[in-house]
Structure 1
């Protein structure tokens, strides 16, 4: 059963279409101090953000699995991903699982260390967690652009 109602959509910044939703989701992640490649969804049909509560949702045509190459981890994203976001943190996450050995494990919280140490932590509902470098979840093209801009500023 979907958490997304017409009433909720009326309160939200609501967008449709893959390209626009890709841009908006990456922008929101960056604005919240999270890596922009954390939600590599495909064929996003709609997304929304309720600023007052921090509730976010993304709906894609079909579930997808993504391998984060830098850490060798598989992550599965359901057709509907929901969460509450706040600076440097995602809480009450649903629709995201990671593969550990042969078992898919639900993730429900993600946070970046504060003060920044370059680490990001993923937690399960049972309290288990894993920490990785933030850089493993950043979109490469945009990282290269930032480095190029930084290099130009230094000149």
Structure 2
């Protein structure tokens, strides 16, 4: 069953968007009405609306949540859409909440605490069935949810940080690519320098060989001249 909120009701409501804002408002509402802080253990809240004038509250979450209250020994199912009228010490006209009684699920229509307080919480189902449990069995365990700045603000900040991180990642990759290109250029330049050195060595060797040949030719020319001189004397 889809929960439809009339436009005139939405116009009068305080509407909180996003899980952080929804969790904060839910906890605050339970505190203001004097109900235990863990009574609505919803997850991934999409929207929370509250009309202060009438006490009407609605909550939308991404999917239904089945929660086990260990201290009370009870399974409770919270639909994707939950609504109620909040009053001092009670939630009445509840929709979207069921409790498991033995082997069957019963729809709850009211949850309240004793007035004056006696440490008991009473769950009333459609059909007249009622059960009482210690209030502390429904208190929240662990740290409170993070405080939201304003509605979608939390999501916007998260996306902004994600964009900044992405930009840093792109910059780092670009710098890394530039460094890699520089290293490759150095590696390519190194063999070239070696080739120049080898070429220089070859040229030096060739010049030395030419010098030796010229020196040998000079020696041979000297010997020929000496032989001709000796022959002329004879």
Normalised to the residue count of structure 2, the TM-score between the two structures is 0.59
The answer as to whether partners of 2:106 and 2:126 remain within 8 angstroms in 1 is no
SS in 2 for 1:127: coil
SS in 2 for 1:67: strand
Task: Extract unaligned runs of 5+ from structure 2.
Answer: 145-234
More helix as a share of residues: 2
Deviation at 1:101, TM superposition (A): 1.2
SS in 2 for 1:75: strand
SS in 2 for 1:78: strand
Higher relative contact order (CA 8 A, sep 6+): 1
Residue of structure 2 equivalent to 1:111: 112
The higher radius of gyration belongs to: 2
Where in structure 2 are the equivalents of 1:1-155 lying within 5 Å?
A: 1-141=2-142
**2 CA distance for matches of 1:127 and 1:93?**
14
Deviation at 1:3, TM superposition (A): 3.0
SS in 2 for 1:117: coil
What CA RMSD, in Å, does the superposition of the two structures yield over aligned residues? 1.3
**2 CA distance for matches of 1:120 and 1:142?**
23
**1 CA distance for matches of 2:34 and 2:117?**
10
**2 CA distance for matches of 1:99 and 1:52?**
33
**2 CA distance for matches of 1:117 and 1:132?**
11
Deviation at 1:6, TM superposition (A): 3.3
More strand as a share of residues: 1
Aligned pairs, number? 143
**1 CA distance for matches of 2:114 and 2:18?**
32
Deviation at 1:140, TM superposition (A): 2.0
Provide runs of 4+ in structure 1 moved above 4 Å.
none
**1 CA distance for matches of 2:87 and 2:65?**
25
Task: Extract unaligned runs of 5+ from structure 1.
Answer: 144-155
